[in-house]
Amino acid sequence: MSGWLALVRPGDWLTVALGALAVALAFPLLWRGGPAERAVIRLDGRVVAEYPLDAARRFEVAGPLGKTVIEIQPGRARVAADPGPRQYCVKQGWLTRTNAIAICAPNHVSLFLSGRQAGYDTLNY
């Protein structure tokens, strides 16, 4: 071990430290993805409601099958209930990240979280 340490020159430690610092900074800087700011609710692709994620509220959308219930809380939103047969959008649970999307296809409703930063959306990654 000491044989290997002898190969590291004093300035190399500085390079290692700066490199580690750069890596440590890169994680929070590039991985924040932006907190979601608004919930966008669409029916048949048309925006029917848009709410900031700042207060708790519930919203009902009437689709072809019945009512889809969207629940919004500070910083997150979910599909609380949906008449669709497979309940995929309900099982997705709370959405928190920007560009996350829950699609209740049978009832033609989607819930999308938008934010300032463009990141990945649920479908693309």
Q: Shortest approach of other proteins to residue 79 CB, angstroms? A: 25
Residue 89: Cβ-neighbour burial (10 angstroms; 0-12, 13-18, 19+): buried
**Residue 105 in 3-state DSSP?**
helix
Q: Shortest approach of other proteins to residue 123 CB, angstroms? A: 13
Report which secondary-structure segment, H or E, holds 3. helix 2-5
Q: Shortest approach of other proteins to residue 112 CB, angstroms? A: 17
Q: Are 111 and 41 in contact (CB under 8 A)?
A: yes
Strand partners, 117: none
Name the residue nearer to other proteins (CB basis): 30 or 55. Answer: 30
Contact residues: other proteins, CB under 8 A: 3-4, 7-12, 14-16, 19-20, 22-23, 26-27, 30-31, 33, 118-120, 124-125
Q: Shortest approach of other proteins to residue 41 CB, angstroms? A: 25
Name the residue nearer to other proteins (CB basis): 33 or 83. Answer: 33
Rounded-to-integer distance, Cα 58 and Cα 80, Å? 9
